[in-house]
Amino acid sequence: MQHRKNKLLEINTGAKSKNVYIRQLLTNLVRNGKTTTTAKRAQVLKAYADAFFARLVANTATYSEKDALRENIRFIKSEIFGEAEGKKVINELLPKFVESGKKSGFVSSYKLGYRLGDGAEKILLKLS
- Residue 68 maps to which CATH number? 3.90.1030.10
Q: What is the per-residue pLDDT across 102-122, written as a single tens digit (0 to 9) for each?
A: 899 999 999 999 999 899 999
User: Domain for residue 118, yes or no?
Assistant: yes
Number of domains in the chain: 1
Q: Whole-angstrom Cα distance, residue 24 to residue 126?
A: 15
User: Domain for residue 1, yes or no?
Assistant: no
Burial code (b: 16+ CB inside 10 Å, e: under 16) for 17-37 equals eeeebbbebbbbbbeeeebeb
User: Domain for residue 46, yes or no?
Assistant: yes
With beta carbons less than 8 A apart as the criterion, state whether 90 and 33 touch: no
User: Domain for residue 6, yes or no?
Assistant: no
| pTM passes above 0.75 | yes
User: Domain for residue 87, yes or no?
Assistant: yes
With beta carbons less than 8 A apart as the criterion, state whether 75 and 59 touch: yes
Question: Would you tell me how many other CB atoms lie within 10 Å of the CB of residue 87?
Answer: 13
User: Would you say residue 30 has pLDDT above 70?
Assistant: yes
What integer is the mean pLDDT of 33-48?
94
Range(s) of the domain holding residue 56: 14-127
